[in-house]
Amino acid sequence: MKLHQLHYFVTVARERNFTRAAERLNMAQPPLSRQIHQLEEEIGVQLIQRGSRPLQLTEAGKLFFDQAVMALDHIEQMTEMTRRLAATARTRLGIGFVSSTLYGHLPEAIRRYRTARPEVEIALHEMTSLEQIAALKEGRIDVGFGRIPHGDPLVDRVLMRNEPLRAAIPASDPIADRPGPFKLADLAHLPIIIYPSAPRPSYADQVLALLRDRDLRPPVVHEVKELQAALGLVAAETGFAVVPASVERLRRDNVVYAPLDEVEASSPVIMSIRKDDPSPELALLLRLIKRMYRDHGIAFGV
């Protein structure tokens, strides 16, 4: 499948007529028809209803049209960003992050970096820890902040801290009136809400491992896509969740956060970069993060 074929197909679909589409594309109709036919043969699906007047797309063609438009828009944006970056000769720093790190000190680290290097263009990408590893190796990001340890030989990781975990409990549950900290066994009678549901392994598996190591089996395990949804279900009295301590500031209505009295009840915050990357920007970012931790009295790497 070639890029120009997508452009041809989208033009035909929008014009709903091969003749008008050919005129708009400044080409003859027969080669345009051949290109669309070749596209259908390549993907093995009929995209246009033959003989329809005006031209109609098949159901598969409608889906393909939507995806083709998004793909062409993305390529146009990517091209424009690349041209703009080349024109301004600005350094670019791509940062991947899991959503829970936004409730900790990552935003402050980014602000400190912007202050130190205002000329650098920063691109932020929300992605899972595993997606960050692939993006680093493919050059789509330069640094990732996640929570899942990995052993990829092409990626170096720096443990920033082991963040304590908290139990997020519905405020209406009687146990919420008890002073903490809690054992997980104290909460095992409640359904548990874990996130993300996919891809795996993920932070959800860290929480499930805590339960499994203590031979605890909550009556129900609800899986949701993201942290916000998990806390929403806690507020709706669906169950409890285990979340990083920095999340406490996120939601307070009908949710009580309690410390856990458990060994290993923590989640690592890991900075990942390409192996032996000599970038001075990454070295500066790491120095700023260490300084920020000192300012807040947080032990780095512990």
Give the lowest-confidence range in 37-46, 53-62, 249-258, 291-300: 249-258
Q: Could you read off the pLDDT of 282-299 as tens digits, one per residue?
A: 999 999 999 999 999 999
**Which amino acid is located at 293 in the chain?**
Y
For the chain, which domains are there?
3-87 (1.10.10.10), 92-160+269-295 (3.40.190.10), 161-266 (3.40.190.10)
10 Å Cβ neighbour count for 167?
27
Q: What is the pLDDT of residue 87?
A: 54
With 0.85 as the threshold, say if the pTM is over it: no
Cβ neighbours for 47, distance < 8 A, ≥ 6 positions apart: 9, 36, 39, 40, 57, 58, 60, 61, 64, 65
pLDDT digits (tens, 9 = 90+) for 90-126: 588 999 999 889 888 999 999 999 999 998 999 999 9
Share of the chain above pLDDT 90, in %: 71
Note the pLDDT tens digit of each residue in 120-157: 999 999 998 989 999 999 999 999 999 988 889 999 99
